[in-house]
């Protein structure tokens, strides 16, 4: 053992011992197991049910000591830090037993995964920032199978983590403890497509990009598009009410989803899978499930309205000298492009620097403090090009824009879009990323980035701002070499207080998941949260569906 490792190991031993003592739940067997394999730390500690915040004495480093010792970045080092931060305890669900596994193996032959290597990727989120310790992944193919799984889990009080493409950014799609993972990966069939109305009905596990290709062949497109389209599932998109890059033009899923089929916690099937544009018969129940992040039911099928594939698409990529100019360019382009405007995205110079450095993409325009991506979608290319050119002439002449390029062919359009779409990916190369997805009055969008940058100074590596300016949605991302409590303390609750002062939303499109649920009060009044708790209690009385997510768990929130 190298000389540097001894104090680190000692700290680890002391820390775990103190935690176990604090819990009065000492098990020497578990203790030894934990020490044997540092990578299993998350698993062991979460199973032990430790209330970390209470147990960690000041001055003793948290579990990222494992990182220091192995000098290797593993996802598990971040799990305990989050559990500590949110003081989450395992709820008294049943633990998975051999009989349960045998039941699921009979129900889903070859589709009940228990081998550690097979289960592992389902336990970790895409960002590798949270990790659960589920021992079972179920892959049903039909609604009837989902229903049987949930009926059994409900009866046996087994917690369930519904999972789509696992591309979420708030820790909502992976288990926190040992919840059974219910994956929609094999529910990937198109049920019907009506070429006259453009209404698509499909199973929840269809991958967004595959669906887009499917409807494109028939002259339509999906009403939403996002960077994760190659992996995300439509059911997951609906469950999180994903926004994405086309929202400015086609609106949110709350408008384009026409019907849903949902399996409730007790296994009963709620068939609201209608394909009607208009239906005012009673309450619109599907809205409850859109954006509920799998906490109220498991979405098994979706009916969705697809717009016509535009005949002409253009993309302009422009450089602006200030954020004020980005805003003025937006006002001008809205006025001049009107109905053909389909996206207005922005990014700052730091984002460009990172996509250039890490992804080897090159900027098509001269260095600028801000960049804007404008997309037009219409039915007449010469009409659209004329409008776009008039707008660009005016924007250049009035100094709103200092440099720019326009693309009309598919290949170049994709290249320009990837500069914006792949920022998330570029940021992951920088170390640990603190992510904030904020809705604000559009004029104030970048003030938060400036204020945060000034506040954090040298303690952060990068503070960047980009996002869906046309929707008033900022993605504020902060990076550091590794996760640190003190940096998080400098960011939160400052970022939420700042947002609340402007009557913004602390989650514009990513949901609350595990990481943001404790902050819901910054965007919703107490009465609204209590009503949400009541809906949850009514639809899922045992709380087995995606526990520890979306709704705050502290007792002061009443029902929980």
Angle at 257 between CA 265 and CA 500, to 5 degrees: 80
Name the nearest CA neighbour of 143 among 80, 191, 196, 200: 191
Helix (H, G, I), strand (E, B), or coil: what is residue 475?
Answer: strand
505 binds ligand 2HG (CB under 6 A): no
542 binds ligand 2HG (CB under 6 A): no
Query: What are 195's two structure tokens?
Result: 């070429």
For residues 150 to 179, the per-residue mask of contacts with ligand 2HG, x marking binding by CB under 6 A and - elsewhere, is: -------------------x----------
**Cβ distance to ligand 2HG smaller for residue 179 or 437:** 437
90 binds ligand 2HG (CB under 6 A): no
User: How far apart, in whole angstroms, are the C-alpha atoms of residue 14 and residue 62?
Assistant: 11
Name the nearest CA neighbour of 228 among 243, 203, 208, 214: 208
475 binds ligand 2HG (CB under 6 A): yes
* CB 356, min distance to ligand 2HG, A: 17
What part of residues 27-66 is at the interface with ligand 2HG (CB under 6 A)? Answer: none
* CB 352, min distance to ligand 2HG, A: 14
What part of residues 214-253 is at the interface with ligand 2HG (CB under 6 A)? Answer: 227
Helix (H, G, I), strand (E, B), or coil: what is residue 131?
Answer: strand
Q: State the residue for tokens 């596990």.
A: 205
Question: Chain-centre distance of CA 459, in angstroms?
Answer: 26
Backbone φ and ψ of 332, nearest 5° = -65, -45
User: How far apart, in whole angstroms, are the C-alpha atoms of residue 548 and residue 560?
Assistant: 10
**Cβ distance to ligand 2HG smaller for residue 132 or 227:** 227
Name the nearest CA neighbour of 137 among 158, 118, 165, 156: 118
424 binds ligand 2HG (CB under 6 A): yes
**Cβ distance to ligand 2HG smaller for residue 12 or 469:** 469
* CB 475, min distance to ligand 2HG, A: 4
**Cβ distance to ligand 2HG smaller for residue 478 or 529:** 478
* CB 342, min distance to ligand 2HG, A: 15
513 binds ligand 2HG (CB under 6 A): no
**Cβ distance to ligand 2HG smaller for residue 179 or 471:** 471
Residues 327/329/331/337 CA torsion (nearest 10 deg): -150
The residue from 77, 167, 477, 518 that contacts ligand 2HG (CB under 6 A) is: 477
Number of residues that bind ligand 2HG (CB under 6 A): 8
Angle at 427 between CA 213 and CA 502, to 5 degrees: 95
* CB 424, min distance to ligand 2HG, A: 3
435 binds ligand 2HG (CB under 6 A): yes
Could you tell me if 387 and 334 are in contact, meaning their C-beta atoms sit under 8 angstroms apart? Answer: no
Closest residue to ligand 2HG, judged by C-beta, is 424
Question: What are 449-455's contacts with CB under 8 Å, separation 24+?
Answer: 449/348, 449/474, 449/476, 451/498, 452/476, 452/478, 452/491, 452/494, 452/495, 455/490, 455/494
* CB 279, min distance to ligand 2HG, A: 31
* Residues near ligand 2HG (CB under 6 A): 169, 227, 424, 435, 437, 467, 475, 477
């Amino acid at each position: 053992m190298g000389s540097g490792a001894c104090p680190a190991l000692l700290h680890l031993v002391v820390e775990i011992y103190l935690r176990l003592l604090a819990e009065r739940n000492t098990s020497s067997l578990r203790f030894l197991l934990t020490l044997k394999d540092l990578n299993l730390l998350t698993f062991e500690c979460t199973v032990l049910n430790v209330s970390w915040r209470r147990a960690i004495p000041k001055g003793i480093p948290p579990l990222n000591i494992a990182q220091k010792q192995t000098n290797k970045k593993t996802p598990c080092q971040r799990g305990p830090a989050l559990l500590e931060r949110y003081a989450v305890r395992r709820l008294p669900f049943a633990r998975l037993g051999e009989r349960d596994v045998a039941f699921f193996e009979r129900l889903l032959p070859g589709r009940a995964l228990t081998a550690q290597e097979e289960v592992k990727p389902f336990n970790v989120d895409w960002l590798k920032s949270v990790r659960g310790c589920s021992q079972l992944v179920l892959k049903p193919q039909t609604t009837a199978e989902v229903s049987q799984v949930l009926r059994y889990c409900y009866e046996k009080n087994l917690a369930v983590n519904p999972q789509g493409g696992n591309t979420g950014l708030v820790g909502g799609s992976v288990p926190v403890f040992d919840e059974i993972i219910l994956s929609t990966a094999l529910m990937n069939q198109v049920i019907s497509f009506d070429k006259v109305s453009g209404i698509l009905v499909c199973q929840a596990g269809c991958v967004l990009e595959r669906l887009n290709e499917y409807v494109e062949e028939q002259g339509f497109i999906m009403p939403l598009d996002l960077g994760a389209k190659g992996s995300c599932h439509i059911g997951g998109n609906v469950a999180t009410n994903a926004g994405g890059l086309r929202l400015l033009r086609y609106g949110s899923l709350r408008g384009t989803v026409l019907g849903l089929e949902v399996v409730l916690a007790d296994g009963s099937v709620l068939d609201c899978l209608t394909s009607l544009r208009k239906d005012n018969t009673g309450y619109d129940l599907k809205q409850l499930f859109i954006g509920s992040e799998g906490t109220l039911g498991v979405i098994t099928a979706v009916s969705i309205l697809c717009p016509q594939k535009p005949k002409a698409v253009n993309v302009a990529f422009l450089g602006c000298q200030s954020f004020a100019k980005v805003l003025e360019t937006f006002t001008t382009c809205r006025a001049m492009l009107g109905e053909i405007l389909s996206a207005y995205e922005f990014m700052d110079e730091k984002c460009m620097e990172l996509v250039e450095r890490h992804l080897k993409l090159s900027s098509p325009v001269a260095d600028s403090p801000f960049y804007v991506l404008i997309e037009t979608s219409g039915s007449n290319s010469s009409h659209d090009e004329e409008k776009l050119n008039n707008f660009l002439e005016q924007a250049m002449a009035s100094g709103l824009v200092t440099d720019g390029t326009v693309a009309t062919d598919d290949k170049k359009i994709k290249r320009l879009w990837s500069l914006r779409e792949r920022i998330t990916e570029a940021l992951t190369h920088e170390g640990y990323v603190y992510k904030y997805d904020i809705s604000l009055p559009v004029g104030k969008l970048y003030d938060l980035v400036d204020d945060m940058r000034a506040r954090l100074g040298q303690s952060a590596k990068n503070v960047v701002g980009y996002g869906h300016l046309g929707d008033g949605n900022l993605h504020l991302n902060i990076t550091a070499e590794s996760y640190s409590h003190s940096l998080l303390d400098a960011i939160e609750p400052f970022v939420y207080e700042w947002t609340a002062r402007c009557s913004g939303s602390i989650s514009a499109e990513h949901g609350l998941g595990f990481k943001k649920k404790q902050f819901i009060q910054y965007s919703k009044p107490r009465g609204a949260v209590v009503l949400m708790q009541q809906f949850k209690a009514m639809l899922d009385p045992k709380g087995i569906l995606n526990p520890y997510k979306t709704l705050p768990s502290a007792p002061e929130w009443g029902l929980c």
